[in-house]
C-alpha cells in the first residue's frame, strides 16, 4: 500500500474517532496531549543520526563535484523568492476577503513566546561540538557540525577514505532505520488526527473563528495544490507538476496533522528520493536549508492572522505603510523559526505582534484557541514549498531522474 494512502486511512480513522470524544473534558484532553507528544517523539526518533550522516556525505560529494556552493546559492535564491511570493499573496488575499472580527477576550495572562534569536546564534557553536547532536529539536547546530565534518572529509583521501566509506554506510543504515519508522507512522497518524479533530471540533462550536478557518483552509489548498505546482512548468527539463504533487501527498498529510517540521522531515526525505527521484546529495541540502530558513508558510499564516487581529481591534482601513510593515516583518521572521519546528506559525504571530507594537503586543492571545490550526496550516505550506523547490533545484542542477508513477511508494 502506498505511504500516502496509509497516512490518509490513519488520518480518516483518527478524524472519525475524534468526533466521538468530548471537547471540554480536561482529563481526556490531557491524555490526548500526552499521546500526541509520544507520537511526535516516535516520528522524530531516527532523525538526528540520519540527517547528520546524510548531510556530511552530501557536503563531501558536492564538494568533490564542485557544485556545493552553487546548490546552496540556488537554494537561498529560491527561499527568498518563495517567501516574498507567499507572504505577499497571503496578505493580498486577506485584504480582499477579510474575515469577520473576532471578539476581544483578553482574560488569559500573556505567555513568554520568543524567537530566541540570540540563543540561536550562541547554540550554533557549543563548547563541545559533539553536544550539538544531543538537541533533537533545534537542528541547526547539527547541520553546522555535519557541514564542517563533510568539509573535513575533502582534506586528503589517503587519510579520509575509510571514514568516507563509514559515513556513507551509516547514512544508508540510518536512512533505512528512518524508513522503518515511516512505515509505522500510519498508526501514529491516528493519534495525531484524533487530538487535532477534538480541538478543531471545539473551535468550530465557538463559531467566532469560522471565517479565518475557512480563509486559511481554502487558500492553503489553492496555494499548495494549485499555484505552487504550476511554477514547475517553468523549469527545464520539463516535468509533470501533478506527478510531483502526487508523490508529495505523504508529507502533506504528516505535516498538517503533526504541525511539526522535524516529524515530517524523515517522510519528506524518503519520498523525495523514492518518489521524486531526487538524489541524496541534493535533496538533503535543499530540504534542510528550507526547513531552517524557508518557513514562508508559517510567516504567511502569521501575517494573515495578524491582519485579522488588527481588524478585530479597530475598523480602520490599512495604510500602505501598515501593509509593508507587516509583510516585511513576516519576511524577516520566516528566516528565524529554526528553533520552533512544532510551533512555527503561532510563534511567528507572537513575534509579529511584538515587532508591530502600538498596543498589539499581546494580540496573539485572542487566537490562542486556534493556535494548533495556524501551526498546521503553516507547517503544511512550509513542507510543500520545500518539496517543490527541492525537486525543481535538483532537476535544474542534474540531480533528479524521473520515476514511473507505478513505482511510487
Say if residues 216 and 304 touch (Cβ distance below 8 Å). Answer: yes
Looking at domain 3-45+64-120+192-407, its CATH superfamily turns out to be Sodium:dicarboxylate symporter (1.10.3860.10)
Residue 84: what pLDDT? Answer: 95
Residue 111 has pLDDT above 90, yes or no: no
Residue 118: what pLDDT? Answer: 67
Residue 202: what pLDDT? Answer: 87
* Helices 47-65 and 280-293, packing angle to 10 deg: 120
Q: How confident is the model at residue 117 (pLDDT cuts 50, 70, 90)?
A: low
Q: How confident is the model at residue 87 (pLDDT cuts 50, 70, 90)?
A: very high
Share of the chain above pLDDT 70, in %: 95
Say if residues 43 and 254 touch (Cβ distance below 8 Å). Answer: yes
Q: How confident is the model at residue 172 (pLDDT cuts 50, 70, 90)?
A: very high
Q: How confident is the model at residue 299 (pLDDT cuts 50, 70, 90)?
A: very high
Rounded Cα gap, residues 65 and 153, in angstroms: 14
Q: How confident is the model at residue 315 (pLDDT cuts 50, 70, 90)?
A: low
Rounded Cα gap, residues 252 and 385, in angstroms: 10
Residue 139: what pLDDT? Answer: 86
Say if residues 52 and 140 touch (Cβ distance below 8 Å). Answer: no
The CB density around residue 69, as the number of other CB atoms within 10 Å, is: 10
Average pLDDT over residues 266-290: 91
Residue 331: what pLDDT? Answer: 95
Which of the two residues, 306 and 156, has the higher pLDDT score? 306
The CB density around residue 349, as the number of other CB atoms within 10 Å, is: 31
Residue 114: what pLDDT? Answer: 65
Average pLDDT over residues 205-220: 89
Return the C-alpha cell found at 154: 575533502
Chain centroid to CA 66: 29
Which of the two residues, 66 and 236, has the higher pLDDT score? 66
Q: How confident is the model at residue 184 (pLDDT cuts 50, 70, 90)?
A: confident
The mean pLDDT of the chain is: 87
Amino acid at each position: 500500500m502506498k505511504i500516502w494512502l496509509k497516512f490518509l486511512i490513519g488520518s480518516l480513522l483518527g478524524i472519525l474517532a475524534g468526533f466521538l470524544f468530548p471537547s471540554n473534558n480536561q482529563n481526556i484532553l490531557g491524555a490526548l496531549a500526552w499521546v500526541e507528544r509520544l507520537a511526535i517523539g516516535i516520528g522524530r526518533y531516527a532523525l538526528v543520526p540520519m540527517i547528520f550522516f546524510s548531510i556530511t556525505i552530501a557536503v563531501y560529494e558536492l564538494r568533490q563535484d564542485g557544485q556545493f556552493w552553487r546548490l546552496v546559492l540556488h537554494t537561498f535564491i529560491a527561499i527568498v523568492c518563495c517567501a516574498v511570493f507567499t507572504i505577499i499573496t497571503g496578505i493580498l488575499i486577506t485584504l480582499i476577503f477579510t474575515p469577520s472580527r473576532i471578539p476581544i477576550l483578553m482574560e488569559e495572562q500573556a505567555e513568554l513566546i520568543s524567537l530566541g534569536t540570540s540563543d540561536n546564534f550562541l547554540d550554533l557553536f557549543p563548547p563541545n561540538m559533539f553536544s550539538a547532536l544531543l538537541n533533537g529539536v533545534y537542528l541547526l547546530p547539527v547541520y553546522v557540525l555535519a557541514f564542517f565534518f563533510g568539509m573535513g572529509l575533502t582534506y586528503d583521501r589517503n587519510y579520509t577514505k575509510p571514514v568516507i566509506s563509514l559515513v556513507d554506510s551509516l547514512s544508508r543504515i540510518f536512512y533505512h532505520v528512518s524508513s522503518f519508522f515511516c512505515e509505522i507512522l500510519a498508526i501514529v497518524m491516528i493519534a495525531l488526527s484524533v487530538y487535532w479533530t477534538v480541538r478543531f471540533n471545539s473551535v468550530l462550536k465557538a463559531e467566532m473563528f469560522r471565517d479565518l478557518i475557512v480563509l486559511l483552509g481554502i487558500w492553503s489548498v489553492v496555494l499548495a495544490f494549485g499555484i505552487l505546482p504550476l511554477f514547475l512548468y517553468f523549469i527545464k527539463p520539463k516535468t509533470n507538476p501533478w506527478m510531483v504533487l502526487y508523490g508529495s501527498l505523504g508529507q502533506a498529510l504528516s505535516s498538517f496533522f503533526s504541525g511539526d517540521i522535524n516529524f515530517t522531515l524523515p517522510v519528506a526525505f524518503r519520498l523525495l528520493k523514492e518518489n521524486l527521484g531526487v538524489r541524496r546529495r541534493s535533496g538533503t541540502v535543499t530540504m534542510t536549508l528550507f526547513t531552517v530558513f524557508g518557513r514562508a508558510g508559517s510567516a504567511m499564516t502569521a501575517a494573515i492572522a495578524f491582519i485579522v487581529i488588527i481588524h478585530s481591534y479597530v475598523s480602520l482601513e490599512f495604510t500602505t505603510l501598515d501593509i509593508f510593515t507587516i509583510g516585511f516583518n513576516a519576511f524577516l521572521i520566516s528566516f528565524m523559526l529554526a528553533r520552533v519546528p512544532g510551533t512555527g506559525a503561532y510563534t511567528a504571530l507572537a513575534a509579529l505582534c511584538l515587532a508591530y507594537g502600538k498596543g498589539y503586543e499581546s494580540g496573539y492571545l485572542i487566537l490562542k484557541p486556534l493556535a494548533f490550526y495556524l501551526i498546521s496550516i503553516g507547517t503544511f505550506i512550509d513542507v510543500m514549498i520545500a518539496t517543490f523547490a527541492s525537486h525543481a533545484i535538483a532537476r535544474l542542477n542534474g540531480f533528479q531522474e524521473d520515476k514511473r508513477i507505478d513505482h511510487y511508494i
